[in-house]
Structure 1
Amino acid sequence: MPIRRKQMVWGAFVLLCVLSSAEWVIPPAMGEIPGVELQGLMHALVGIAAAVFAVLRWRKHRPRLRLVSIALGGVAFFGLPVILLESVSGRIPSTSISALFSMAPVVVVLASERLGVTGQSGGQMLLAPALAGVGGLLCVLPFGFPDSPRGWGGFCVVVVAVVIVGVAGVWLYRLLRDVGLIEAVAAVGIANAALLLLWCGLHGELLWRPDALVQGVSILFFVQTAEIVLTIWLLRTMEAIPLSARYLVIPLLTIVEGFVAMRPEVTARLTVGVVLLGVGAWRILASRTQDEDRSLSLK
């Protein structure tokens, strides 16, 4: 990978992590529009805009079957987990959900080995730092196992969502490399918009009133829309294992931001957790740098 392109990839990764970690300080929308519908509208905005550009520059011999696979993979990565998490809303604390999603790098490492994805950095050698990151977040966030059958049901749903996200990330890395970015964004955006808005409609939560839609548009709406585009681009240009480190980097940045803003007491458990998170994320990301540097030296 050329050095300039490599810098763009790292810059996009850092920007994605910073935007995601800073969402808690951005005022949310004041309207009554459901969160799932907002997600659907974000994907619709991204998908339709990309589709217009794709149609304008459409050429023959586009891999249309590949685009269908990309749309399915995009639904598994974005839309399906949103619906699964919405289905257990109120049954699992948000801190527990964040802790469980820190297992995504573990799933990605195992899925990469299982699916035989080429170009993955480090293979199962990165399983240890991924597990260290999980342990670090468990040290920092309050986490407890459910104490009721209903809670265990929600717990299992979140675990399924984590597995789906991890496997879909590896699958998309394989699919997106030979497809143009505009076509990929259009396929993923439109497919997810259709799924999420259909789900809202079936549950009677679809609001089409102009005033509700206008109130749903906020700074956070556009920030999360930008995150969707950045994520799709990184899924296409960054190996699946290092990209999964964002599930450790984002909570790490959020913890640092919270520490700066609220000045909590520094405890041994907090310190150990932050160190484990940082070391785990760094080790996963550094493996990519080493492999790319080796590739550049050979060229």
Structure 2
Amino acid sequence: MRLTLWLSLFALSILSATRGAVTTLLPSPLPTALQQALHFLVLTFLFSLPAITQLKAAITRPMVLSMALLFPLPIIMSVLAEGHVSSHLQVVVFALLPVVIVLAVAHRTASFGPETEGRRLLVPAIAGAAGTLVLLPLGLPSSGLSRALLGLLVVSAVASALAGIRLHSLLAPVKIVPAAAVVSGTSTLLLAAFTLAGVARYPIGLRLSALVPDALLTLGLDAPILLLTLWLLREMHPIPFAARYLLIPLFSILAAILLLHPLTTPIMLGGLALMAGAALWLLLAKPPEAA
């Protein structure tokens, strides 16, 4: 079972890194929030039809709230931060989330003494974030608005990490396909409301043929990414699963190195080693037991 979880996590990380590369190389003509709303709308229909009789068990207030915090909220905050907080800084913010998850799990299990596994797991969590800082050029925002948006981005990222921990137990009695339908429906409503509020505008004169790549992206990458994420949230302990926040940028950086052949330096290799070693440590670690 452990090998299956690991292979699924690596598949999720590679698919997520691939999605990031595709959207960078082939940007959508739609605003990000609207694009994501349409993607989730397609997924809502895709997952609701085969699980229509099982949706009731997945629609609970804690479930919907946690899913809203984990999925659409970071997208909304990322859109708001565009032009104010660099994409590299946003990656670093999410690379810090293993620290949040280790602290939250250790606190919840009352196992954060000086000799406990909870405290020791802070070492790889911090090392992974340090590796990301080494690899990505980082510029802190200078204006008050940019700093405020960075603060909100950090808060939303922390909220999404805590929601993921909560979903680990909430998803236990729920099947994955109806859960995916609830995630997709919740995300569609919130992202559509955000778009209609005027923060993002629909481009006039857009042809339907321009949406074909988005439809292919939804079916080919977004659907398996969502299913794998929910399954791993349910089956994998939050601390090993936190390695995804390091593996996804690690695979993205490795792909860029292979494709672009930049000059590699000892510092760059050290950053890659920190990220890879930290992710492996989190995967191999024995999570704190409940008190």
TM-score interval, smaller chain: 0.7 to 0.9
Q: Is the 8 A contact 1:105 1:130 kept in 2?
A: yes
Deviations, residues 114-150 of structure 1 (Å, cap 9, x unaligned): 34499xx943321110000000110010012222212
- Out of 144-153 and 130-139, give the one that drifted further: 144-153
Match of 2:263 in 1: 265
Aligned partner of 1:34: which letter? Answer: P
For 1:10 and 1:217, the matched residues in 2 are separated by: 33
Gaps of 5+ in 2: none
- Say how many residue pairs are matched: 280
Residue aligned with 1:101, SS: helix
For 2:265 and 2:158, the matched residues in 1 are separated by: 32
Residue aligned with 2:150, SS: helix
Deviation at 1:211, TM superposition (A): 5.2
Residue aligned with 2:141, SS: coil
Q: Is the 8 A contact 2:48 2:178 kept in 1?
A: yes
Aligned partner of 1:97: which letter? Answer: Q
Query: Structure 2 vs 1, CA of residues 273 and 225 (structure 1 numbering), >3 Å: closer, same or farther?
Result: same
Query: Structure 2 vs 1, CA of residues 8 and 214 (structure 1 numbering), >3 Å: closer, same or farther?
Result: farther
For 2:38 and 2:18, the matched residues in 1 are separated by: 21
Aligned partner of 1:148: which letter? Answer: S
**Equivalent of residue 93 in structure 1, options 86, 89, 92:** 86
Match of 1:37 in 2: 34
**Equivalent of residue 54 in structure 1, options 51, 58, 63:** 51
Aligned partner of 1:230: which letter? Answer: L
Q: Is the 8 A contact 2:63 2:167 kept in 1?
A: yes
Deviation at 1:262, TM superposition (A): 1.5
Deviation at 1:163, TM superposition (A): 0.6
For 2:191 and 2:120, the matched residues in 1 are separated by: 37
Identity among equivalent pairs (%)? 27
For 2:281 and 2:240, the matched residues in 1 are separated by: 9
Residue aligned with 2:233, SS: helix
- 1:234 to 2:229 alignment: no
Query: Structure 2 vs 1, CA of residues 24 and 81 (structure 1 numbering), >3 Å: closer, same or farther?
Result: closer
Q: Is the 8 A contact 2:28 2:35 kept in 1?
A: no
**Equivalent of residue 272 in structure 2, options 271, 274, 277:** 274
Gaps of 5+ in 1: 292-299
Deviation at 1:76, TM superposition (A): 0.3
- 1:111 to 2:121 alignment: no
Residue aligned with 1:269, SS: helix
For 1:176 and 1:84, the matched residues in 2 are separated by: 25
Q: Is the 8 A contact 1:134 1:277 kept in 2?
A: yes
Query: Structure 2 vs 1, CA of residues 212 and 30 (structure 1 numbering), >3 Å: closer, same or farther?
Result: farther
Q: Is the 8 A contact 1:132 1:277 kept in 2?
A: yes
Aligned partner of 1:95: which letter? Answer: H
Deviation at 1:192, TM superposition (A): 1.0
- 1:171 to 2:166 alignment: yes
- Out of 87-96 and 234-243, give the one that drifted further: 234-243
Q: Is the 8 A contact 2:43 2:218 kept in 1?
A: no
For 1:130 and 1:91, the matched residues in 2 are separated by: 27
For 1:24 and 1:185, the matched residues in 2 are separated by: 21
Query: Structure 2 vs 1, CA of residues 245 and 204 (structure 1 numbering), >3 Å: closer, same or farther?
Result: closer
Q: Is the 8 A contact 2:30 2:203 kept in 1?
A: no
Match of 2:138 in 1: 143
- 4+ runs deviating over 6 angstroms: none
For 1:140 and 1:185, the matched residues in 2 are separated by: 34
For 1:127 and 1:235, the matched residues in 2 are separated by: 21
Query: Structure 2 vs 1, CA of residues 117 and 85 (structure 1 numbering), >3 Å: closer, same or farther?
Result: farther
Q: Is the 8 A contact 2:180 2:230 kept in 1?
A: yes
